[in-house]
Amino acid sequence: MLPKRRLGRTELLVSNLGFGSLGILDRYLSRWSADTGPLKATSLFEFILDQGINLVDTARWYEESEERLGAIIASRRAECVITSKTLKRDSVGTLADISESVRQLQTDYIDVYLIHHIQWPEELHKIFDKNGALEGLWEARANGKIGFIGISGHDPDLLCAAISTGAFDVVELPYNALDHEIFQPVVERALELDVGVLTMKALAAGKFVDSKGKVEKALQFALCVSGVASVIVGLSTIDQVLFDVEVARQVDQLSTAERENALAEIMALPRDYWGVDSQYYDPAACPFNVPIGEIMRLERYRTIYKNGHRTKFEYSQLPIKADPCAACPGYCELPSPFGLSTQGLLIRAHERLGEPITDREIFQHGGEIVK
Ligand code: SF4
């Protein structure tokens, strides 16, 4: 069975590998096989529970995920620690979401309910206001519908500010081999406060899945990080489950020194290894002073962390963008041993970040705050 770790002050014991239930949506199942639908999803979920994965992560936003999980949770509730989430920022909407989650998951109680994907400081203010989401969460907790309160997001400063209020027992954040430095302060603050830490995006929203070696390294990395209770990964096939569970078991058998060595080895890999952005460029060689690193960061945030709303807004505010890149001979380019082109990455980033913010991107991030 998989090892269990303590989820901070909740005292819940969760498997070091968690199940990100986006994986059982048809649009993810169909990436790997023609076999989709509720039966395929529920049999996969049963297999996942059989392997000893007990942390089951879902959200109101994850389409049919709660309903599909509920078909199995109805008879296997005791084997699960369930986390679900709301994008609502007000009390009434939050309570309605919790009731719907409880109904669809076929349970009477959700272990941790999180404010989902906090992105703007204004949202944080709103959830603390009178009639804000926290009031709804407190009421649901008092009524026994939820056990603990959490928060998720991709902005380390906002997450640190949120957990520092003492209002949240659990924090869910991205953590992977590319962006560990950005998110490490959240893990450290959570440890100081004994807030349970769940991480996501270990495989960079599928950007690291082009080879098994890369998947193994990325998972090892996330699982070795000290203070993380569970690494939540999307699982859509039996092979993925078996592979990821084996990596999680092996990591559990490493000594502290061996884990530190594994982390150091993976951190020493060039950024280009991960295929998302490059470190082989000379910023001083750009005659147009294009902020190369910042633009790659924004594009990475847009693609990996689905922050289209905020990243497009921030890109629009940059005084210098990547518009000269398409017609430039590529003065900044240094040869990447992994074949990545900085200029190519910048041209693509300029195209994508320059597109209009979509309705889906706005709604995904609360649906209300538009800069
Ligand atoms: S491709 Fe040209 S314009 Fe773009 S950052 Fe590099 S040197 Fe500057």
Write the pLDDT tens digit of every residue in 79-102.
999 999 999 999 999 999 999 999
Q: Is the predicted pLDDT of residue 194 greater than 70, yes or no?
A: yes
Write the pLDDT tens digit of every residue in 134-154.
999 999 999 999 999 999 999
Query: Stretch 335-348: mean pLDDT, rounded?
Result: 94
**Predicted confidence band of residue 54 (pLDDT cuts 50, 70, 90):** very high
- How many angstroms separate the alpha carbon of residue 344 from the centre of ligand 1? 10
Q: Is the predicted pLDDT of residue 192 greater than 90, yes or no?
A: yes
Q: Which residues contact 239 (CB under 8 A, 6 or more apart)?
A: none
User: What sign results for the dihedral spanned by CA atoms 203, 209, 214, 215?
Assistant: positive
**Predicted confidence band of residue 370 (pLDDT cuts 50, 70, 90):** very low
Q: Is the predicted pLDDT of residue 200 greater than 50, yes or no?
A: yes
- How many angstroms separate the alpha carbon of residue 177 from the centre of ligand 1? 26
User: What sign results for the dihedral spanned by CA atoms 262, 264, 266, 269?
Assistant: negative
Q: Tell me the backbone φ, ψ of residue 77, rounded to 5 degrees.
A: -55, -40
- How many angstroms separate the alpha carbon of residue 245 from the centre of ligand 1? 43
Give pLDDT, residue 363. Answer: 60
Residue 215: which region, alpha, beta or left (left: phi > 0; alpha: psi -120 to 50)?
alpha
What percentage of residues in the chain have a pLDDT greater than 90? 78
Q: pTM for the whole thing?
A: 0.91
Ligand 1 surroundings by CB, under 6 angstroms: 286, 288, 290, 292, 322, 324-325, 328, 330-332, 343, 346
Rounded to whole angstroms, the Cα distance separating 40 from 71 reads 12
Tokens of 238: 């039996």
Q: Is the predicted pLDDT of residue 334 greater than 80, yes or no?
A: yes
Query: Stretch 147-165: mean pLDDT, rounded?
Result: 96
Q: Is the predicted pLDDT of residue 125 greater than 80, yes or no?
A: yes
Write the pLDDT tens digit of every residue in 226-276.
999 999 999 999 999 999 999 999 999 999 999 999 999 999 999 999 988
Query: Stretch 313-337: mean pLDDT, rounded?
Result: 96
| Best probe residue, ligand 1, of 281, 323, 328, 334 (max atoms within 8 Å of C-beta) | 328
What rounded mean pLDDT belongs to the chain?
93
- How many angstroms separate the alpha carbon of residue 325 from the centre of ligand 1? 5
Q: Is the predicted pLDDT of residue 351 greater than 50, yes or no?
A: yes
Give pLDDT, residue 369. Answer: 45
DSSP 130: T
Q: Is the predicted pLDDT of residue 110 greater than 70, yes or no?
A: yes
Q: Is the predicted pLDDT of residue 50 greater than 90, yes or no?
A: yes
